[in-house]
Structure 1
Amino acid sequence: MFPTWLTEEYIQIALRGYYKDTQLCVLKVWAKPATEKGENYVGVMTRIYVDFELADGGLQKKSFILKQGVPPDAPQADLFAEYDVYNRELEMYDVVLPKMSAILREANFNEKLMADAIVVDRKRTIMILEDLAPLHYTNADRVKQLDIVHTKLVLDMLAKFHAAAIILDQREPQLLRRNYNSHFFSREKKGYEEVFVGLFKAFIRYVKNQPILWDRYGKKLEHTISHLMEYAAKSVDVTEKDFQTLIHGDCWTTNVMYQYDDEGNPTTVLPIDFQFSSWTHPTVDLHYFFSTSLKTDVKERESELVQYHFYSLKRTLEALSYKGYIPSLFEYQLQFERRRFLSVVIANVFQPIMVYEGCEDPEFVNLYQDTPQGIRFQDSMYESKEIQRRIEEILPILDSKGFLDAH
């Protein structure tokens, strides 16, 4: 349903500005939901269809995406307000991404880094964005996950994103560090602690029903849950000696969109959803992406993928005439490994949601609250044979690296 303020006149004024046509006339507007229930917990997406006439008499039929926050009475509304996710994304589309795109164009990197913003309305906390579907952008299958070709396209995109942010930080010191210093695991914020601890309890509940896994890892997991947020925060911490940039912050299958050639091969990738962009180490994006989105045979090539991203990032920085510090590949791999605890959280807690195919109600509160309905949903996440196989695979690795021990 349209908000009452979203009139034909409002849209007409916006389109006149976007198309630089003061005579543009909106003829008809209608809308329908752009996402299904459970596909987007952070906001409400509406696809707006507009028929309009240009000054030269040309008729246009276009669609756009209206992006709003969740209703004030939604259970997650206070959580997202605490992390200021909506104002952060408005600033990304209004200020940061256009500056980063301009930086990349200086070195003839002309791929789109963002959907065009038709309107960024800070008063109403909404955006109207170009609809990427008519440009033939689409999501890959979140359940089947990504092969090596899809994966490397994302790593190249992230390298350009990270490089452009590094250059922007040099040109406008404190813009990014000041406004993007909070993340899921910020110590001064508490909202996501309930979410992650609730999800980790569900993970422990599954492991408890696997006698061999429980005998080996049960005590360590019970110790870990009491330190979960601090260990994760340490993984995101950076010091002046660390390589630092703005990260996407929520880079997984559903938050990247691909274009394909006539043979079905992906040719281009575009990131979307920047509510959790933050200033930290670039490998935080890699851990999140690897732990949520890759096919098993691709994730097994993790060190190679870190190397691939590193060289892509280095080439992009060199093309942008960056003269600052770039770590060696050896140092970069070590910096990636020091953030391995993120895999404990993300792979075991987030991924089961991201590939969920069950029938339980995917309301946000059911992800982590211990109500009967919530527990049914959480337990059903671990019925997936693929998730069970991945848990059996990742727990010995994390344990052998010491990430289940006190640290």
Structure 2
Amino acid sequence: MLPNWLTEEYIQKALRSFYKDEQLRVLKLWAKPATEKGENFIGVMTRIYVEFEPRDGSVEKKSYILKQAVPSDAPQARIFAEYDVYNRELEMYDVVLPKMSQILEEAGFTDKLMAKAIIVDHSRTIMILEDLAPLRYTNADRVKQLDLTHTKLVLDMLAKFHAAAIILNQREPDLLSHNYASHFFSREKEGYEEVFIGLFRAFIRYVKTKPNLSSRYAAKLEDIVTNLMDYAGRSVDVEEKDLQTLVHGDCWTTNVMYQYDDEGNPTTVLPIDFQFSTWTSPAVDLHYFFSTSLKTDVKELETELVQYHYYALKRTLEALNFKGVFPSLFEYQLQFERRRFLSVVIANTFQPIMVYEGCEDPEFVNLYQDTPEGVKFQDSMYENEEIQRRIDTILPILDAKGFLDAH
């Protein structure tokens, strides 16, 4: 169902501007949902189909993606409004990403950094983007997760993203200084505190069902939950000596799309969904990505993957004629390690949602509220045997590194 304002006249005006064709005529307009229930909690995505006649008299049919805010009566609407995620993404598509793309193009990088925006309408808080499906972009399997080839493509993409943002900030230092400070763990905001504490309590509840885990870690995890947002917030904080850039902020399997060759090998990757782009350390993107999206055997290569990203970022910055101070690999690994508390939170609370295959109701409030429906959903997340194996592996490591102690 199309919103009332999305008329043939509206889309015709947008397409005339985008294609620079004042004679373009829209002949037909229709739509269907672009995501299933539980696949996207932050926005409403609709695939719209347009049949139109450009100036040459031919008839074309193309599809586009309409992105809207969730309805104002949705439980999560208050949270997303507090973090201003919609206006942030509008500015990303309208201003920031085109400038970053131009910076990369100037240096000869040709891979797409973004889906083209047909229109960014700030008055309605909507965007209409090119549909990436006809360009043969598709998501990898979020449950099977990413092998090494898929992973390295994302790290190469993030290196370009991070490098372009560093150069953009040098050219226009005021552009990224206003709307990119808040993140999931912002201390001055409250919405995600309720979400993450609810998720973390569900994780503790699972740990307590396993005597070998409960005896060693339950008390420490109970102590952590009282300081959860502060500890996680410190992981996003940056100091003057830290490498700083704009991060994607929500980089995981479903927020990157791949093109494949005829043999099924991934060849290029494109990021989507920039509601949580934040000015911080690039290591924040790496922790989030590693903790949510990698196959177990790839995750075990974490130190080497940080090294891979480091050199990709360094090469890209050199190609962009970066003149600033760049850390040594040793310093960069330390900056990554200091943010490992993110994996305490993300790996143990977000990843079970991201690979969920169960049949409980995936309503947003069920992720974290202690209602009967919520508890049933949360407990079912930890029935995944692969998640259980990962928890068995990660808790001793985090404990040995001191990240389960008060700090």
Fold similarity call, TM over 0.5: yes
State yes or no: 1:188 paired with 2:157: no
Summarize deviations over 1:23-45 as a string: whole Å, max 9, x none: 00000011000000000000000
The one-letter code matched in structure 2 to 1:94 is D
* Shift in Å, 1:179: 1.6
Question: What secondary structure, in the 3-state scheme, does the structure 2 residue paired with 1:179 have?
Answer: coil
Structure 1 runs (4+) deviating above 4 angstroms are none
* Partner secondary structure for residue 306 of structure 2: helix
- Are positions 1:338 and 2:364 aligned together? no
Match of 2:169 in 1: 169
Match of 1:13 in 2: 13
**Whole-Å separation in 1 of the counterparts to 2:259 and 2:102:** 22
Amino acid at match of 1:62: K
- Tell me the CA shift for residue 218 of structure 1: 1.0
Question: Counterpart in 1 of 2:297?
Answer: 297
Which amino acid is 2:340 matched to? Answer: R
Q: Distance in 2 between matches of 1:174 and 1:378?
A: 42
Output one character per residue of 1:261-296: Cα deviation in whole Å (capped at 9) or x when no partner.
000000000000000000000000000000000000
The equivalent residue for 1:271 is 271
Alignment of 1:235-314 (within 5 A): 235-314=235-314
Determine the C-alpha separation between the residues in 2 that align with 1:405 and 1:388.
22
Which residue is 2:388 aligned to?
A: 388
Q: Given the alignment of the two structures, is residue 348 of structure 1 paired with residue 342 of structure 2, yes or no?
A: no
Specify the alignment match of 2:152 in structure 1. Answer: 152
- Please report how far the alpha carbon of residue 175 of structure 1 lies from its aligned counterpart in structure 2 after TM superposition: 1.4
Q: State the Cα deviation string for residues 20-67 of structure 1 (Å, max 9, x = none).
A: 000000000110000000000000000000000011101111000000
Q: What amino acid is aligned across from residue 241 of structure 2 in structure 1?
A: K
In 2, distance between residues paired with 1:239 and 1:329? 17
Q: Aligned with 1:275: secondary structure? A: coil
DSSP-derived class of the 1:64 partner: strand
Distance 2:94 2:176 in 1: 14
- Listed one character per residue, the Cα deviations across residues 312-363 of structure 1 (whole Å, up to 9, x for unaligned) are 0000000000010100000000000000000000000000000000000000
CA distance in 1 between counterparts of 2:349 and 2:99 reads 34
Q: Report the Cα offset of residue 15 of structure 1.
A: 0.4
- Separation of aligned partners in 1, 2:362 and 2:224: 26
Q: Write out aligned runs for 1:28-107 (5 A).
A: 28-107=28-107
Report the Cα distance in structure 2 between the residues aligned to 1:181 and 1:370, rounded to whole angstroms.
30
**Code of the aligned partner of 2:186:** S
AA aligned to 2:25 is: C
Q: What is the identity, as a one-letter code, of the residue corresponding to 1:204?
A: I
Matches within 5 A, 1:185-224: 185-224=185-224
**Residue type of the partner of 2:295?**
K
CA RMSD of aligned residues (A): 0.4
Q: Secondary structure at the match of 2:30?
A: strand
Q: CA deviation at 1:88?
A: 0.1
Give, as a single letter, the amino acid of the residue that structure 1 aligns with 2:242: D
Helix, strand or coil at the partner of 2:178: helix
Listed one character per residue, the Cα deviations across residues 356-379 of structure 1 (whole Å, up to 9, x for unaligned) are 000000000000000000000000
Corresponding letter in the other structure for 2:71 = P
Per-residue CA shift, 1:207-240, capped at 9, x if unaligned?
0000010001111000000010000000000011
Q: Name the SS for the 1:258 alignment partner.
A: strand
Percent identical: 81
Alignment size in residue pairs? 407
Take 2:178 and 2:46, find their aligned partners in 1: how far apart are those partners?
31
1:174 shift after superposition: 2.6
Amino acid at match of 1:351: Q
**TM-score normalized by structure 1?**
1.00
CA distance in 2, matches of 1:61, 1:178: 40
Q: Report the equivalent of 2:130.
A: 130
